[in-house]
Amino acid sequence: MTKHDDCDHTLTRRGLLHAGAATGIGLATAPLMFAPMAMAQERQGRILVILELSGGNDGLNTVVPYADDAYYRLRPQIGIRKEKLRKLDDHFGLNAGMVGMEKLFKDGKLAIVHGCGYADPSFSHFTSMAYWHTAAPNSGEPYGWVGRLADAMAPKAPANFLINIGTNQSLAVRAKKHVPVVFNNPDNFQREAFFEEKAVLTSLSDPGKMANPSQRYLLDIAKSANDASALVRKAWSDYRSPIDYGITDLGLRRVAAMISAGLPARLYYSSYANNAFDTHVVQNDLHGRLLTYTSDALSGFMQDMERIGRADDVTIMIFSEFGRRVPENTSLGTDHGAANVMFVAGKKVKGGHYGQLPSLTKLDAGDNLLFTTDFRQVYATMVKGWLGQQATPELLNGNFKPFEMIA
């Protein structure tokens, strides 16, 4: 997965030192990273949460087309038997561990979008993920689509608008105007200077002594970063929920805590780590566990939103950078593929199947599914259908008609 830990809008520890050496022209007018507690308590409309299944989830063993004989011909060993599936209808069944997502689907709150991908697909994790992060295949776009969305939604870049759960900032949230709040463990989210920085920050302790606007800005950033870490830690320490998220919450419990505390964030991003879904060898047991974790965490999150009265305000989109090849490999796994399924869940989502189902017999030269739905059509559905923003060509690098998915 592509990471941008040192991008120009991420206030890293060393970045503060570099900022202090800069001229005051750009710094003096740049937005502060974090807002006071009072601002964080305001309720701020609809929220989009994005969960990334990094590594290339096997969509065919996630949403299994059990009624298609070609599936079992091409996967004689790893194809999941009909009797082990959680059947959704006469054609599809979910992997056995996806109890929560089965319920969401049957309750009409889970949409499954088939055949998602893009033309001339890359089979590299890093390259394909960059395409999904930027919504700009084969372009070299430097900013993420979620970051561009934040800039479009709130061009004055109010603090705490965009939150990335993780140890590193994702390219998806890199923005021109907004500075994402990035944290993994809320208890440890605090800014501590490196040894060589401490003298610099100590010398900036009195704003009245500063003639240089760059230095004043630097102190403001340091103080607001401390305010933000306190805000996140308080939100987490105050959060109490009886809801079971399963073995791992995938960052969604932390998202729930921030929403419950009233933070003004409208966009949240979380991800699996370490290409977890890269299942080349003996995949079924591992893949089944990962899908169980995903389903349990999603189900828990949706229940938590109901508990705190925010279910009408929150929708979650789930994606992976590519699917897997249709035939199983000789190691009882699957190799990097192309088209895949995406999920959208929420109380306001019109559940069901969307997009054209790819053929299992008309494959490309590498035995991959041919994409039938540009993944940016789902992005456009989130942007326009859910958030009420214009899905402009500048935002999504093209024109894409949203699905009629939102009630």
Three-state secondary-structure class, residue 373 = strand
pLDDT score recorded for residue 231 = 84
pLDDT digits (tens, 9 = 90+) for 137-153: 988 899 999 999 999 99
Amino acid at 251: G
Question: With bands split at pLDDT 50, 70 and 90, how would you rate the model's confidence at 229?
Answer: confident
Mean pLDDT of the 88-97 span: 98
pLDDT score recorded for residue 203 = 55
240 close to 257: Cβ distance less than 8 angstroms: no
Task: Give the C-alpha distances (Å, rounded to integers) separating 250 from 53, 157, 161, 195, 283.
Answer: 10, 27, 20, 33, 20
Question: With bands split at pLDDT 50, 70 and 90, how would you rate the model's confidence at 36?
Answer: very low
pLDDT digits (tens, 9 = 90+) for 296-325: 999 999 999 999 999 999 999 999 999 999
Three-state secondary-structure class, residue 298 = helix
107 burial class (0-12, 13-18, 19+ CB within 10 angstroms)? Answer: exposed
Question: Chain-wide mean pLDDT for the chain?
Answer: 86
Q: Can you give the three-state secondary structure of 300-329, one letter per residue?
A: HHHHHHHHCCCHHHEEEEEECCCCECCCCC
Three-state secondary-structure class, residue 354 = strand
Give yes or no for residue 87 having a pLDDT over 90: yes
pLDDT digits (tens, 9 = 90+) for 238-283: 999 999 999 999 999 999 999 999 999 999 999 999 999 999 999 9
The model carries a pTM of: 0.85
Task: Name all domains of the chain by residue range, CATH numbers in brackets.
Answer: 46-191+241-396 (3.40.720)
pLDDT score recorded for residue 147 = 98
